[in-house]
Amino acid sequence: MDFATVYDCEFLTAPGAPTRFWCGPHDPDPLCIQIGAVRLGLTAPFAVSEPVGWFVEPRDRDGAIAAVDPLVTRLCGIDDALLAREGIALVDALGHLSEFARDGLLLAWGKDDLLGLAPSLFVQGLTCPIPPARFRNATALLIAAGESAETVHGLRSNTICDHYGLKAPGPAHDARADAAGVATALSHLLQTGRLRPADITGLAPARG
């Protein structure tokens, strides 16, 4: 395949919830509310596609749609009205993501599959329709490009473009823009020879 897919997730949070690992008495489950994705070409000029994305209904353990904390609205621009109007079922969003990726590799900055998708699947009693082996952590690619682990630990999907002096493709905490930002940085590393296409394709699961 001549491209890899970079995706990103946004999920529910509340003030202080990350420092409590979402374990506070009033913290929401970290349910997915948005998935964004782009294609990163693996042949020169290593182009990044226009982003696509889907808003996701954050259904809780009782099957109800969970409320969005004002913090999420400030960070992501997502509120209850938007999700009621445009949100779709998580399995449908994952189906669209898989189709967009053409059943290929799915890269995220970190482990959005575990932090943004797995909680939603768990509380709904669902099995992920995408094989887990297709999800990979893009941070390993910066190590392959020569960055130190200390540097990588300090970066986020919405800060990686700044690190390389690149223009961010959109606002932070929008899953589409954050996915595009990671892909833009990876494209830069490919263009400058610090990263090879084989470094990316080598992350893909073996086909039996």
pLDDT digit string (tens) for 165-186? 999 999 999 999 999 999 999 9
The whole-model pTM stands at 0.95
Q: Which of 27, 29, 26, 33 is nearest to 174 (CA)?
A: 33
pLDDT value for 203: 87
pLDDT value for 206: 59
pLDDT category, 204, cuts 50, 70, 90?
confident
CA distance 187 to 198: 13
Q: In this model, does residue 189 exceed pLDDT 90?
A: yes
Give me the chain's average pLDDT, please: 95
pLDDT value for 120: 97
Handedness of CA 107, 176, 159, 116 (dihedral sign): negative
Sorted by where each begins, the domain ranges of the chain are 3-201
Span 53-59, average pLDDT: 97
Span 53-75, average pLDDT: 96
Q: What percent of the chain has pLDDT over 90?
A: 95
pLDDT value for 17: 94
Burial of residue 147 (CB within 10 Å: 0-12, 13-18, 19+) is middle
Span 70-74, average pLDDT: 97
Distance set, CA 13 to CA 54, 103, 148 (Å)? 18, 30, 30
pLDDT digit string (tens) for 127-176? 999 999 999 999 999 999 999 999 999 999 999 999 999 999 999 999 99
pLDDT category, 208, cuts 50, 70, 90?
very low
CATH tag, 3-201: 3.30.420.10
Q: Which of 204, 197, 183 is nearest to 36 (CA)?
A: 183
**Amino acid sitting at position 166:** L
